[in-house]
């Protein structure tokens, strides 16, 4: 009973902080990508999370061994999960079979949080990746683990991919119905488990989710294209493109979340996470901004994304006008609504130097009215993000790549980490530093150091950051084909040699990137010292004719900012000319 009382804090957090939920995921099927790879993205946006690359070594496990489960938001110990007999190696959020998983949390109905559950969404992801050779197996593992141990998290959208398919899955718990088992002399939750739906994204299409449930109606079970969890024996039937909990509709009816006469009209999102202004403006706008850049027919959903027309919902997936490259996806992750009238660098909230960030909270009151700051895909509080590629033409160790970056997606560098590596780069490794422990050369802190310095003069510094970012990412993209070829030749001879080679490449790529970023910080510090800008060419600072002092510029403030100062202060700062 004490656990129930303690977890009231979590319920309050869920009820009153939902607008701050913050992760954005894109899903790209093989037929929608230039190189035929599946791609999913993820950004772990959090004000308390630390950016590090998780690594779980696969192989046989000791009988009776287990791993402890800690709640993702509080680190409260909530359970223990036994290891299966054998696991797959997991690098971040992709395993050696090229199965990758991303997520975004949605608040949904707060009463459905199971505060007695023994597994949270992050543990679900990593546990599924340890077990699943395909995306479909990952869905099954998520369902079985959540139903067995109880799901202690809010609503969740998952992106799940393998080299052949990409799935969009949504789930939410069933809340707490506390009952007493006299035989065992203890209380238990009669509502343990989840309700869920998973839809395969048609090949050639893309999808996205950003902290709001997006699956609406879906075809009901027919044993062919649609199955429930009672029919998992048809899990690998290639015709199956929808899976769902057998009680997802009946549970909603029992709790008055759905009162429609037809099951066929049931909408998961409308029942378990009804749309409102905040869900649209803070969440769906990120999906719309992604969609609008790759499909010319998205303008009609603009008012929906802005929260003005909640009836005109966007589709779950769309067909892009052109296939997307890896570089396209990385660029699309760096979105702050540029190209729209809501570009976050253009309004007064950006300050005099065009910063595309707004400090929290997202809402504020003036004269009794509530206003908002925009919430875009790129945001300052990202711990880490990735673009995961699953490539069917290569063995799993080589074909799977998680392009991994720490801190804000707009100013990070995505570094290729192969699924076959034996360890994470030292400077990215789990436990090297912490959100309240500064480690000078840790990747997270080095990237944050550059980003936070850039906030002072964003409009100028971002050009230097983007130049270095592009240089490094382009270098890696040029190198990967040669690394693939070499690793494949080694793999044919000895797979273990291939793993050694991939490990050396990824570890060196990660550690050297951090070193280059530290050099960038030093350069920026010199160039932009005290609000001035020292002139330079190709990284070399220009000096006066005697070679002693730099040539310094003072760009000042934009006119609109100066006019705003006068509007607010009148003649307070008026310069009085001397009388002749």
pLDDT tens-digit readout, 402-458: 999 999 999 999 999 999 999 999 999 999 999 999 999 999 999 999 999 999 999
Per-residue pLDDT, averaged over 123-129, amounts to 97
Q: How far is CA 34 from CA 276, 320, 335, in A?
A: 36, 12, 21
| Long-range own/partner contacts, residues 258-264 (CB < 8 A, 24 or more apart) | 263/220, 264/217, 264/220
Residue 200 parent element (H or E): strand 194-200
Q: What is the pLDDT of residue 178?
A: 87
Sequence-ordered list of residues with C-beta below 8 angstroms from that of 259, at least 6 positions apart, any chain: 253
Q: What is the pLDDT of residue 10?
A: 45
Query: What residues pair up with 105 in beta bridges, in sequence order?
Result: 156
Residue with tokens 């006469």: 261
Res. 570: pLDDT tops 80: yes
Q: What is the pLDDT of residue 200?
A: 98
Q: What is the DSSP letter of 549?
A: S
Sheet of 38-45: strand order equals 317-318, 206-209, 25-28, 38-45, 382-390, 401-406, 415-418
- For residue 380, how many C-alpha atoms fall within 13 Å in the half-sphere facing its CB? 18
Per-residue pLDDT, averaged over 472-478, amounts to 98
Contact yes or no for 80/410 (Cβ under 8 A): no
- Closest C-alpha to 510, from 399, 412, 395: 412
Q: What is the pLDDT of residue 16?
A: 38
* Domains of the chain by residue range: 2-335, 394-398+406-533
Residue 156: phi and psi, rounded to 5, are -140, 135
**What percent of the chain shows pLDDT beyond 90?**
91
- Closest C-alpha to 454, from 345, 551, 376: 345
200 or 579, greater pLDDT: 200
Res. 331: pLDDT tops 80: yes
Residue 516 parent element (H or E): helix 495-527
pLDDT tens-digit readout, 50-100: 999 999 999 999 999 999 999 888 889 999 999 999 999 999 999 999 999
Query: What residues pair up with 188 in beta bridges, in sequence order?
Result: 179
Res. 22: pLDDT tops 80: no
pLDDT tens-digit readout, 174-219: 999 888 888 888 888 888 899 999 999 999 999 999 999 999 999 9
Per-residue pLDDT, averaged over 123-148, amounts to 98
Q: What is the pLDDT of residue 181?
A: 85
Res. 1: pLDDT tops 70: no
Length of the chain: 580
**What percent of the chain shows pLDDT beyond 70?**
96
Sequence-ordered list of residues with C-beta below 8 angstroms from that of 222, at least 6 positions apart, any chain: none
Label residue 129 by pLDDT band (50, 70, 90): very high
pLDDT tens-digit readout, 222-252: 999 999 999 999 999 999 999 999 999 999 9
Contact yes or no for 339/346 (Cβ under 8 A): no
Query: What residues pair up with 385 in beta bridges, in sequence order?
Result: 43, 405
Sequence-ordered list of residues with C-beta below 8 angstroms from that of 368, at least 6 positions apart, any chain: none
Answer whether 0.75 is exceeded by the pTM: yes
Sequence-ordered list of residues with C-beta below 8 angstroms from that of 483, at least 6 positions apart, any chain: 416, 418, 501, 502, 505
- Closest C-alpha to 411, from 496, 473, 497: 473
């Amino acid at each position: 009973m004490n656990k129930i009382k303690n977890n009231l804090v979590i319920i309050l957090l869920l009820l009153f902080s939902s607008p701050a939920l913050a992760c954005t995921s894109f899903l790209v099927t093989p037929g929608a990508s230039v190189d035929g790879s599946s791609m999913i993205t993820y950004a772990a946006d959090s004000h308390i999370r630390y950016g590090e690359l998780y690594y779980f070594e696969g192989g046989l496990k000791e009988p009776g061994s287990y791993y402890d489960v800690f709640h993702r938001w509080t680190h409260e110990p909530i359970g223990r999960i036994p290891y299966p007999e054998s696991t797959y190696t997991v690098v971040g959020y992709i395993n050696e079979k090229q199965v990758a998983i991303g997520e975004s949390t949605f608040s949904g109905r707060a009463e459905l949080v199971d505060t007695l559950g023994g597994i949270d969404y992050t543990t679900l992801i990593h546990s599924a990746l340890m077990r699943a050779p395909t995306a479909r197996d990952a869905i099954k593992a998520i369902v079985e683990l959540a139903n067995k141990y109880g799901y202690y998290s809010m609503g969740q959208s998952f992106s799940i991919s393998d080299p052949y398919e990409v799935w969009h899955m949504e789930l939410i718990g069933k809340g707490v119905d506390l009952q007493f088992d006299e035989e065992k002399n203890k209380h238990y939750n009669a509502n343990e488990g989840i309700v869920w739906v998973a839809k395969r994204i048609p090949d050639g299409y893309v999808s996205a989710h950003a902290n709001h449930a997006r699956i609406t109606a879906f075809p009901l079970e027919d044993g062919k294209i649609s199955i429930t969890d009672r029919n998992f024996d048809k899990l690998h039937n290639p015709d199956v493109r929808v899976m769902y909990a057998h009680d997802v509709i009946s549970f909603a009816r029992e709790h008055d979340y759905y009162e429609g006469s037809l099951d066929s009209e049931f909408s998961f999102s409308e029942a378990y996470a009804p749309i409102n202004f905040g869900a649209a403006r803070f969440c769906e706008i990120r999906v719309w901004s992604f969609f609008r850049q790759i499909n010319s027919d998205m303008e009609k959903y603009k008012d929906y994304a802005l929260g003005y027309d909640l009836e005109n919902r966007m589709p779950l997936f769309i067909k892009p006008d052109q296939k997307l490259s890896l570089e396209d996806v990385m660029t699309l992750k760096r979105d702050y609504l540029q190209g729209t009238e809501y570009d976050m660098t253009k309004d007064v909230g950006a300050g005099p130097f065009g910063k595309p960030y707004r400090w929290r909270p997202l809402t504020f009151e003036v004269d009794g009215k509530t206003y908002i700051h925009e919430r875009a895909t790129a945001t300052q509080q990202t711990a880490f993000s990735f673009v995961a590629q699953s490539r069917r033409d290569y063995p799993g160790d080589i074909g799977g790549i998680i392009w991994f970056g720490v801190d804000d997606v707009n100013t990070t560098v995505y570094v290729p980490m192969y699924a076959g590596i034996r360890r994470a780069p030292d400077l990215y490794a789990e436990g090297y530093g912490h959100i309240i422990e500064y480690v000078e050369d840790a990747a997270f802190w080095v990237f944050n150091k550059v980003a936070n310095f850039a906030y002072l003069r964003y409009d100028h510094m971002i050009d230097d950051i983007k130049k270095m970012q592009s240089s490094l990412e382009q270098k890696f993209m040029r190198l990967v084909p040669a690394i693939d070829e070499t690793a494949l030749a080694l793999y044919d001879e000895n797979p273990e040699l291939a793993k050694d080679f991939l490990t050396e490449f990824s570890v060196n790529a990660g550690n050297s990137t951090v070193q280059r970023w530290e050099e960038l910080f030093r350069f920026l510090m010199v160039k932009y010292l005290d609000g001035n800008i020292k002139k330079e060419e190709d990284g070399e600072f220009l000096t006066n004719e005697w070679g002693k002092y730099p040539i310094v510029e003072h760009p000042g403030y934009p006119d609109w900012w100066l006019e705003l100062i006068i509007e607010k202060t009148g003649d307070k700062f008026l310069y009085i000319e001397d009388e002749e």
